[in-house]
Structure 1
Amino acid sequence: MPTPLPAYLAGYPPSLTEPVAHLLDQGRLGEALRRKYPSAHTLRTDRALYDFVQALRNDFLRNSPQPGKVLFDGKLQSVGRALGTHTRIARVQGGKLKTKHEIRIAAIFREAPPEFLRMIVAHEPAHLREGDHDKAFYALCCHIEPDYHQLEFDTRVYLCHLAAGGTPLWPTAV
């Protein structure tokens, strides 16, 4: 009987999760991911991440609000299976309501393939235009990143690898 998978793949059909569980039981899940995604992205600083998000926003979300802050957040990796967050902070300034947007991406993705980061960066800024996880939201994510759904699944598979005690697959060179 295969080891139960962590909750990252809850909601996916058994036809997708059973091969992942089989590879995990054999200790070959990390190897399969490294074969599919051989290298990590090169964005290491919050400034580089901000510039990356701004370039994506300029290409796909021109009329949406500009995020005030974009950063890798070390606290997100342990909070509620979140890959990233988009936060709206409303403040009253001189009788006007001002909204500031922040995008935080789990620090675990500082050392991940560029495809995983592109998927998360497509997801979080899409919230600047679409607030809910509905059909329009996912259509926008797929417009920004055509392989969005496959990349989200593979990212969650990687999180299962880590949750099962696997080591990070794309460590930063020292």
Structure 2
Amino acid sequence: MSMQPLRYLQAYPQHLQDQVRQLIAEERLGEYLEKRYPGRHEVQSDKALYAYAMQLKQEHMRNAPAVDKVLYDNKLDVVQRALGLNTAISRVQGGKLKAKKEIRVASLFKEAAPEFLQMILVHELAHLRERDHNKAFYQLCEYMLPSYHQLEFDLRVYLTWRELG
């Protein structure tokens, strides 16, 4: 099997990469994804995205810091490996320093399966508690979304498929 690097899957075991390469070679990768994730979500506006994120936060992370803004971002580039961003923007208001927390989601997820959007939001919400991608971070992601690791892998497969054009 040709050993073209699969940029989004490099951290995964060789046998999984080979399975993806096999699907690419047989031109069946899109079919595989469509069968596993046939739906498209309705979360198309920033307002709807914020409401969805707050619903997830309320369900799993009531005590986590508040989020001021959740929006789709056209500038987030998969090439920069940023599918979502969690930022705190500090502003001076009167004599106080206020930090506004924002979650930005790459606009390509407007067209994605609902499971992928949920996975990205769970990932970004988990950063409210755990800044680093450590064991506690991934345990929190799994708690919020039990299929988190499978969805992260499949999302990377989806990005690979998108890149093939």
Give the TM-score band, short-chain normalised. Answer: over 0.9
| C-alpha distance in structure 1 between counterparts of 2:78 and 2:143, whole Å | 29
Q: What SS does the aligned partner of 2:80 have?
A: coil
Measure how far apart 1:78 and its partner are.
4.1
CA deviations 1:30-89 (Å, max 9, x no partner) are: 000001111111111111110000011111111112211111111113441221111111
Measure how far apart 1:3 and its partner are.
5.1
Give the alignment of 1:10-21 within 5 angstroms: 10-21=10-21
Q: What SS does the aligned partner of 1:88 have?
A: strand
Measure how far apart 1:98 and its partner are.
1.6
Of 99-108 and 59-68, the range deviating more from structure 2: 59-68
The answer (yes or no) to whether the contact 1:20–1:157 under 8 Å persists in 2 is: yes
Q: Runs of 5+ in structure 2 lacking a partner?
A: none
1:82 aligns to 2:86 (yes or no): no
The answer (yes or no) to whether the contact 2:6–2:17 under 8 Å persists in 1 is: no
Give the alignment of 1:32-43 within 5 angstroms: 32-43=32-43
Q: Which has the higher contact order (CA 8 A, sep 6+)?
A: 1
Q: Runs of 5+ in structure 1 lacking a partner?
A: 166-174
Cα gap change, 1:3/1:42 in structure 2, threshold over 3 Å: closer, same or farther? farther
| C-alpha distance in structure 1 between counterparts of 2:45 and 2:114, whole Å | 14
CA deviations 1:86-125 (Å, max 9, x no partner) are: 1111223334332111101111110111111111110001
Q: Specify the alignment match of 2:154 in structure 1.
A: 154
Give the alignment of 1:54-65 within 5 angstroms: 54-65=54-65
Give the alignment of 1:36-51 within 5 angstroms: 36-51=36-51
Q: What SS does the aligned partner of 1:76 have?
A: coil
| C-alpha distance in structure 2 between counterparts of 1:46 and 1:145, whole Å | 22
- Match of 2:127, as an amino acid? H
Q: Specify the alignment match of 1:130 in structure 2.
A: 130
Q: % of aligned pairs identical? A: 53
The answer (yes or no) to whether the contact 1:3–1:25 under 8 Å persists in 2 is: no
TM-score, normalised relative to structure 2 = 0.94
| C-alpha distance in structure 2 between counterparts of 1:97 and 1:137, whole Å | 28
- Match of 1:136, as an amino acid? A
Q: What SS does the aligned partner of 2:128 have?
A: coil
The answer (yes or no) to whether the contact 1:72–1:107 under 8 Å persists in 2 is: yes
TM-score, normalised relative to structure 1 = 0.90
Q: What SS does the aligned partner of 1:58 have?
A: helix
- Match of 1:18, as an amino acid? D
| C-alpha distance in structure 1 between counterparts of 2:60 and 2:149, whole Å | 18
The CA RMSD over aligned residues, in Å, is 1.3
Q: What SS does the aligned partner of 2:70 have?
A: strand
